Amino acid sequence: MARMAGRRLLTAVPLLAVVTFGVFAIAAASPFDPARAYAGSAGLGAGRDVLDQLRENLGADRPFVVRWWEWLTAALGGDLGQSTSLRQPVAQVIGERIGWSVLLCGVAFLLAVCTGTALGVLAARRRGGLLDRTVTSLAYTLEAAPPFWLGLLAMWFFAIRLDALPAGGLTDTGADAVTAGQVASHLVLPALVLAATQLPWFVLYVRQGVGDALDEDPVRGARARGLRERTVLLRHALRSGLLPVLTLIGSRVPELITGALLVETVFSWPGIASATVQAATSVDFPLLAALTVLATAAVLLGNLLSDLLYGLADPRVGFDG
């Protein structure tokens, strides 16, 4: 198990280097001008010589390979550089925001896994029944719906029509301090929407897994022994039906990150994902690279986690990976 984790970590290093190189290359090829993005509205009145000077000061006139190498060597030495779009050190940007992103993603993921498992089991119990058909078609609809659209819909309904929940932000605008109560009420909508975008996968996987397990010999044996339906369902069918879900947990991480990107932007949630959008559109190399490393690391860790969990849950699977 430790060997597998170690091997994965070793392959992660060159992979991260390649990924950041790709980010620098793509950002350099994009039509966005870093100097103009940096200048913002003042840049609209700026003359050519001012913009050229700015480009030189920002180092934006040099080839991206040079900039990538400088960034990489500095980052390895612990200096993540300065974000040109947020005018803060990159380490500070990440430090201030990552907690809120982890909170949002964690709550949403937990919600999706729990609700998804519950709905999946209920649907699998009587396949083809009314509940099954409702849940399944709902899951397919949700899977097809884009997260930002769901977000706007939820905002319109809960915040504008019902005026029951705040429309965005981390706290009320006039609030002085960030209190747990404020954050909790502002967390509800974005977390619900993000959970809803992840929900269908868990519902469908659990439904399939539990449904298949219900047809297998051990379950039939358990039924034949006269065990209660509840015991059969939760103790026997769910346990073997959950195995594919463990794999799913790891492979959903990239989707969760993209979902968070859109949800954070829609709800002005001050997390890491909304900074990513800004970094990308203003060609903020240092921030973009650091965030890409974070996202890649999250995906790799997610995969590792699901493989480890699978190995723990099913002794037939080894850790050779």
Partner 1 sequence: MTARSIRGVAAMATAGVLAGGVAGCSAPGGGGGAGAKDSLVVGLANEPETLSPLLGYGKDGNSKIFDGLLRRDAAMKLQPALAAELPKVTDDGRTYTYKLRQGVTFSDGKPFSAKDVVFTYRTILDEKTNNAAKGELDAIDKVTAEGDDTVVFALKYPYAPFAERTVLPIAPEHAAKGQDVNTGSFNTAPIGTGPYVLTGWSKGEKLTFKANPTYWRGEPKVKKLTMAIIKDDDVRATRLRSGDLDGAILPPNLAKGFKGDKGKLTLTAKTTDFRGVTLPTAHKVTGDTAVRRALDLAVDRKAMVDKLLEGAGRAGYGPVPTDSEWFARGTERPHDLAKAKKLLDDAGWRPGGDGIREKDGERASFTLWFPAGDKLREEHALAFASDAKKAGIEAKVQSGTWEVIEPRMKDDAVLAGGGNPADPDFDLYNLLHSSLALDGFNNMAAYANPDVDKALEEGRRSGDKNARKAAYDAVQRGLADNPGYTFLTHVDHLYVMNDGWRELATQVEPHDHGLGAGPWWNVEDWQPQQ
Residues of this chain that interact with partner 1 (CB under 8 A) are 31-33, 36, 38-51, 53-54, 57-58, 82, 86-89, 96, 99-100, 102-103, 106-107, 109-110, 113-114, 117, 155, 159-160, 163, 166-170, 172-180, 183, 242, 268, 270, 274, 278, 309, 312-313
Nearer to partner 1, 166 or 259 (CB): 166
**In the bound complex, what is the minimum distance in angstroms from residue 300's beta carbon to partner 1?**
19
Find the DSSP H helices in the chain. Answer: 2-29, 34-39, 48-58, 64-76, 90-125, 130-144, 147-154, 180-214, 217-224, 229-231, 238-241, 243-251, 253-266, 272-281, 285-313
- Number of Cβ within a 10 Å radius of residue 235: 13
Nearer to partner 1, 176 or 217 (CB): 176
Query: What is residue 145's three-state secondary structure?
Result: coil
**Would you say 16 or 268 has its CB closer to partner 1?**
268
Q: Which is nearer to partner 1, 161 or 225 (CB)?
A: 161
Closest CB to partner 1 among 137 and 315? 315
Please, are residues 130 and 242 in contact by the beta-carbon 8 Å criterion? no
Residues 6+ positions from 284 with CB-CB distance below 8 Å: 34, 37, 83, 84, 85, 86, 278
Q: Kindly state the smallest distance separating residue 246's Cβ from partner 1, in Å.
A: 9
Please state the closest distance from residue 168 (CB atom) to partner 1, in A: 7
Distance CA 213, CA 205 (A): 12
With H, G, I as helix, E, B as strand and everything else as coil, classify residue 211: helix
Q: CA-CA distance, 57 to 111, in Å (whole number)?
A: 47
Token pair belonging to 94: 């990440």
Q: In angstroms, give the least distance from the CB of 95 to partner 1.
A: 9
The C-alpha atoms of residue 187 and residue 191 are separated, in whole angstroms, by 6
Q: Residue for token digits 């069918």?
A: 237
Among residues 15 and 125, whose Cβ is nearest to partner 1?
A: 125
Shortest Å, Cβ 120 to partner 1: 12
| Smallest gap from residue 193 Cβ to partner 1 (A) | 15
